[in-house]
């Protein structure tokens, strides 16, 4: 007989079989099955799970799903589950449920509630907002044997790969890894095996900077201290992974001329979505005005050879597309550090050649269309314009990010819409100049 | 007297002070200082550093810098340093130096060389290409006390937060964390404390899938096994962090209609850069042909009111920009899982309202320009067109990613250039329809 999946068991409502199944599954898989069934079925299962298990499963759910489920549980059960979570995870979900409900749950959580309440006071995008308060501190004069005995008596949190060493006046003075504990002699003193050059961060450091430190030093855990060097909490690598995803989202939004927003799409209100977009759209219209001016200036040419207008969308469109491509290549390489400012010359030559080849092929293709729609002269004008527009846009898309970086402006500002708008205006000037020259107006 | 930085000491060439300074610095900081000085100064320092220290520092350098430095060292020293690295790190750098030099170094590396050679045979973007061969295996019948004694005798690698349990026929049957070792009774048997539901991956799994597993299960380490379930190696989280950056780069390139490439920008040849771009540019020209057709069809209207042409770049440009924005918002939210296919209705309503408000503001702004350049009738046509174009483009940019996802096509295909090109053609149809209606041609 084929095994029923957890999802099927949930729908069938067979509680005892479910609990048995959950015991053999990874919490992430349980969470995945849970969100596929109606909320009341989720409540039914979580209500009968041990609190520790419930905490592990809920931590794996997306925050809005987790909050919705918590709100449907009896407050006592919800608080009991929250008490089993790491303080940072509990704070994250409590931050998005209505304040009066959050206060009720915090009150039911006892001492852990007090800790979580403190964490909720930090800005969510700072080191204080990322840290958890679960950590183990030991003293310099203890021996490894004493530390090991202490650990056996006080079960350390899962994340305790490192133990933090405090001086007598409670300053953070060193760190000892579990690996050190199991490899150094039992009689060795903590102060003789600890690593003293501990890197720690203040509670108000921006999360981007925190993520950068994790990346640079390959940390698993980073301690947070106050101005007296007292340990306040620890940030673990998994908290920072989400930061990296947020940063990538910001970069992709900037690439499309959207001012980065903090909320996930569905959580963002109409006003937020509007205000993050309108300023760029209005600014870009100002660049478009230049295009209109160019067209107006060549009104005579246009009215004499109306066929010229047919190719405007194709020529300026292709220019914009080419510029978007080279800008995206260069911006991303600058952001990831694949290229440095000093490499601009190498990049220039590369894009000059690539642009020339692209221009040649695209020029050929478009001159055929010009020939077909407007005769040989128009075909020549269109083909030559395409070569020039592609070359120009390709180099502009490549140079602008370098110039912005040089001016200490985030190169991501060289977004597709900005490049496209500039290429439009420049493309029109190129087009009409070539047309005037060849058609001899 | 102010302390000299490592960089200054390197340039001054004071070797003994340098070595002392390096001992107190994090390897990542040493690497950062090294790449700022000429290669011969780098060689001078690394030559006198202990091999273990040299390995730690070199691992923190970017691969091309690391390879350049290794090639300048005496082969014996280079091999000695490589021998102190994790096998995956050694394989990564040996993969980018000339094959004959790599073979020389591998031969000098002894047993470690043989292991690294095996790793070099795997495709670099598979689980085999990511794994290291440093891991500790223990047996089911051992007690914790025996395991701890074993660890004290055989210093485990830094990355050994987990020990892997093998059955008598060498199959991977469980995993034990260092935390378990230090918290469970010394007399407990491994088989009674081990976690049995180990998730492992085959040696040929794609790196994207590996990264997804790390993300889903919050792993620090993931074991790689062969078809007999024998342990081959372990992948650590830091190897996968680079994968996440590569994936973000791919997404940003796709957003600009560039076919993803494996090489970093400076390593990519002209042909690669050209071939990843030309197909999209040619395809988009085909869409631009539709725009030309639209213009040609309304030739009569255009020649009667040539002022209409002035606003074409502004109207279709703004349409493209608006569509790029909504597409970027929705594509990214779909890719990160912030929104699901089933949410399309909610997103549609949101973007309908946002598009209407954006359209209203942009329509007002552009009608003023129309009024100024072409009189009241043109002002009305331009303003109304702007409202319609913004609304249409906004909804198109939002719907296309959903439609692509539904058709099981990567929604990132809904790139800025594609959206812009479609919006151009549609914008022209809207413009000329409204113009015909109001100006009564």
Tens digit of each residue's pLDDT (9 = 90 or more) over B382-427: 999 999 999 999 999 999 999 999 998 888 887 888 898 999 999 9
Token reading at B183: 């918290």
Contacts of B266 in chain A (CB under 8 A): 333, 338-339, 343, 346-347
Main-chain phi, psi angles of B314, to 5 degrees? -65, -45
Residue B314 has pLDDT above 60, yes or no: yes
Per-residue pLDDT tens for B113-143? 999 999 999 988 899 999 999 999 999 999 9
CB contact under 8 A, A265 and B333: yes
| Closest alpha carbon to B173 in B219, B118, B220, B230 | B230
CB contact under 8 A, A270 and B238: no
CA distance A228 to chain B (A): 23
Token reading at B300: 């009569």
DSSP for residue A157? P
CB contact under 8 A, A317 and B218: no
Token reading at A223: 């301690």
Confidence category of residue A430, pLDDT binned at 50, 70, 90:
very high
Note the Cα B164 to chain centre separation in Å: 30
Confidence category of residue A250, pLDDT binned at 50, 70, 90:
confident
B237-255 vs A312-336: helix axis angle to the nearest 10? 160
CB contact under 8 A, B183 and A321: no
CB contact under 8 A, B302 and A306: yes
Question: Which of A237, A332, A422 to mutate: most B Cβ within 10 Å?
Answer: A332
Tell me, what's the pLDDT at A1? Answer: 36
DSSP for residue A339? S
The C-alpha atoms of residue B363 and residue B361 are separated, in whole angstroms, by 5
The C-alpha atoms of residue B117 and residue B115 are separated, in whole angstroms, by 5
The correct CATH number of A137-243 out of 3.40.30.10, 3.10.580.10, 3.40.190.10, 2.40.30.10 is: 3.10.580.10
Q: Is B137 helix (H, G, I), strand (E, B) or coil?
A: strand
Per-residue pLDDT tens for A138-180? 999 999 999 988 988 887 777 678 999 999 999 999 999 888 8
Per-residue pLDDT tens for A11-66? 887 788 888 888 888 899 999 889 888 999 999 999 999 999 999 999 999 888 99
The C-alpha atoms of residue A56 and residue A31 are separated, in whole angstroms, by 9
CA distance A104 to chain B (A): 29
CA distance B362 to chain A (A): 7
Tell me, what's the pLDDT at A77? Answer: 96
Residue A317 has pLDDT above 60, yes or no: yes
Confidence category of residue A360, pLDDT binned at 50, 70, 90:
very high
Report the percentage of chain A scoring pLDDT > 90. Answer: 50
Contacts of A148 in chain B (CB under 8 A): 182
Residue A347 has pLDDT above 60, yes or no: yes
Residue B1 has pLDDT above 60, yes or no: no
The C-alpha atoms of residue A117 and residue A95 are separated, in whole angstroms, by 10
CB contact under 8 A, B328 and A258: yes
The C-alpha atoms of residue B367 and residue B315 are separated, in whole angstroms, by 11
Average per-residue pLDDT for chain A: 89
Q: Which residues contact B242 (CB under 8 A, 6 or more apart)?
A: none
Per-residue pLDDT tens for B53-64? 999 999 999 888
Q: Which residues contact A405 (CB under 8 A, 6 or more apart)?
A: A334, A341, A411
The correct CATH number of A265-439 out of 1.20.58.340, 1.10.357.20, 1.10.10.10, 2.40.50.140 is: 1.10.357.20
Q: Are A327 and A398 in contact (CB under 8 A)?
A: yes
The C-alpha atoms of residue B220 and residue B161 are separated, in whole angstroms, by 8
Q: What distance, in Å, lies between the first and last C-alpha atoms of chain B?
A: 86
Radius of gyration of the CA atoms of chain B, in A? 31
Tell me, what's the pLDDT at A18? Answer: 83
Burial class (CB in 10 A: 0-12, 13-18, 19+), A165: buried
Main-chain phi, psi angles of B136, to 5 degrees? -115, 130
CB contact under 8 A, A309 and B295: yes
Main-chain phi, psi angles of A257, to 5 degrees? 60, 40
Contacts of B313 in chain A (CB under 8 A): 288, 291-292, 295, 312, 316, 424-425, 428
Residue B3 has pLDDT above 70, yes or no: no
Main-chain phi, psi angles of A263, to 5 degrees? -75, 150
The C-alpha atoms of residue B59 and residue A270 are separated, in whole angstroms, by 47
Angle at B356 between CA B354 and CA B360, to 5 degrees: 120
Contacts A–B by Cβ distance under 8 A: 326
CATH annotation of A6-121: 1.25.60.10
Contacts of A362 in chain B (CB under 8 A): 281-282, 285
Report the percentage of chain A scoring pLDDT > 70. Answer: 99
CA dihedral A244, A250, A252, A258 (to 10 degrees): 170
Residue B107 has pLDDT above 90, yes or no: yes
CA distance A202 to chain B (A): 19
Contacts of A333 in chain B (CB under 8 A): 264-266
| Closest alpha carbon to A334 in B249, B133, B13 | B249
Q: Which residues contact B81 (CB under 8 A, 6 or more apart)?
A: B46, B51, B54, B55, B58, B70, B73
The C-alpha atoms of residue B335 and residue B215 are separated, in whole angstroms, by 14
Per-residue pLDDT tens for A98-124? 999 999 999 999 999 999 999 999 988
The C-alpha atoms of residue A263 and residue A61 are separated, in whole angstroms, by 17
Token reading at B431: 């413009």
Token reading at A85: 């979570």
Which single residue is written with the structure tokens 């059960």? A77
Residue A71 has pLDDT above 90, yes or no: yes
B416-439 vs B344-406: helix axis angle to the nearest 10? 120
Looking at beta carbons, which pairs linking B244-247 to residues 24 or more positions away fall under 8 Å? Answer: B244/A241, B244/A244, B244/A245, B244/B211, B245/A244, B245/A336, B247/B208, B247/B211
The C-alpha atoms of residue B339 and residue B289 are separated, in whole angstroms, by 35
Angle at B413 between CA B408 and CA B416, to 5 degrees: 150
CB contact under 8 A, A333 and B265: yes
The correct CATH number of B137-236 out of 3.30.70.20, 3.40.640.10, 3.10.580.10, 3.20.20.100 is: 3.10.580.10
DSSP for residue B163? E
Average per-residue pLDDT for chain B: 89
Whole-structure pTM value:
0.74
Q: How many CA atoms lie within 13 A of B224 on its CB side?
A: 24
The mean pLDDT of B80-86, rounded to a whole number, is 95
The C-alpha atoms of residue A293 and residue A128 are separated, in whole angstroms, by 53
Q: Looking at B20-65, which runs of residues are DSSP E strands?
A: none
Q: Which residues contact A157 (CB under 8 A, 6 or more apart)?
A: A86, A134, A135, A136
For A243: left if phi > 0, alpha if psi spans -120 to 50, otherwise beta; the answer is alpha
Residue B438 has pLDDT above 80, yes or no: yes
Report how far apart, in Å, the C-alpha atoms of A218 and of each of A17, A215, B104 are.
42, 5, 30
Would you kindly state where each structural domain of chain A is located, as residue ranges?
Answer: 6-121, 137-243, 265-439
CA distance A365 to chain B (A): 8
Lowest mean pLDDT among A226-230, A263-267, A431-435, B211-215: A263-267
Contacts of A327 in chain B (CB under 8 A): 256
């Amino acid at each position: 007989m084929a095994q029923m999946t957890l999802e099927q068991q949930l729908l069938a409502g067979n509680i005892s079989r479910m609990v048995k199944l959950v015991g053999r599954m990874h919490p992430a898989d349980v969470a995945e099955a849970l969100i596929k069934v109606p909320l009341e079925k989720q409540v039914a299962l979580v209500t009968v799970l041990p609190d520790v298990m419930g905490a592990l499963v809920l931590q794996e759910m997306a925050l809005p799903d987790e909050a919705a489920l918590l709100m449907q549980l009896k407050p006592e059960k919800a608080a009991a589950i929250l008490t089993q979570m790491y303080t940072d995870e509990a704070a994250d979900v409590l931050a998005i449920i209505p304040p009066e409900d959050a206060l009720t749950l915090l009150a039911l959580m006892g001492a852990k509630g007090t800790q979580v309440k403190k964490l909720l006071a930090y800005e969510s995008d700072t080191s204080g907002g990322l840290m958890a308060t679960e950590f183990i501190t030991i003293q310099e004069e203890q021996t490894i044997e004493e530390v090991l005995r202490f650990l056996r008596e006080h079960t350390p949190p899962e994340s305790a790969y490192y133990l933090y060493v405090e001086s007598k006046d409670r300053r953070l003075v060193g760190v000892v890894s579990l690996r050190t504990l199991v490899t150094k002699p039992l009689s060795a003193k903590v102060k003789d095996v600890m690593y003293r050059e501990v890197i720690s961060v203040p509670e108000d450091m921006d999360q981007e900077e925190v993520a950068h430190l994790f990346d640079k030093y390959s940390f698993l855990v980073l301690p947070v201290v106050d101005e007296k060097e007292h340990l306040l909490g620890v940030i673990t690598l998994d908290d920072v992974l989400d930061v990296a995803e947020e940063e990538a989202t910001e970069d992709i939004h900037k690439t499309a001329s959207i001012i980065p927003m903090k909320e996930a799409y569905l959580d963002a209100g109409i006003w937020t979505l509007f205000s993050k977009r309108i300023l760029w759209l209005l600014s870009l219209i100002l660049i478009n005005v230049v295009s209109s001016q160019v067209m107006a200036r060549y009104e005579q040419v246009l009215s004499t050879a109306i066929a010229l207008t047919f190719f405007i969308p194709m020529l300026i469109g292709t220019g914009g597309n080419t510029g978007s491509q080279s800008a995206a290549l260069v911006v991303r390489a600058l952001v990831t550090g694949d290229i440095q400012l000093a490499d601009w010359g190498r990049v220039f030559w590369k894009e000059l050649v690539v642009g020339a080849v692209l221009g040649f092929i695209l020029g050929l293709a478009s001159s055929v269309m010009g020939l077909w729609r407007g005769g040989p002269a128009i075909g020549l004008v269109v083909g030559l314009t395409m070569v020039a527009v592609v070359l120009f846009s390709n180099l502009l898309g490549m140079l602008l990010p370098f110039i912005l970086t040089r001016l200490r402006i985030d190169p991501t500002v060289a977004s597709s819409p900005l490049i496209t708008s500039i290429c439009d205006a420049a493309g029109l000037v190129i087009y009409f100049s070539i047309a005037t020259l060849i058609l001899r107006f």
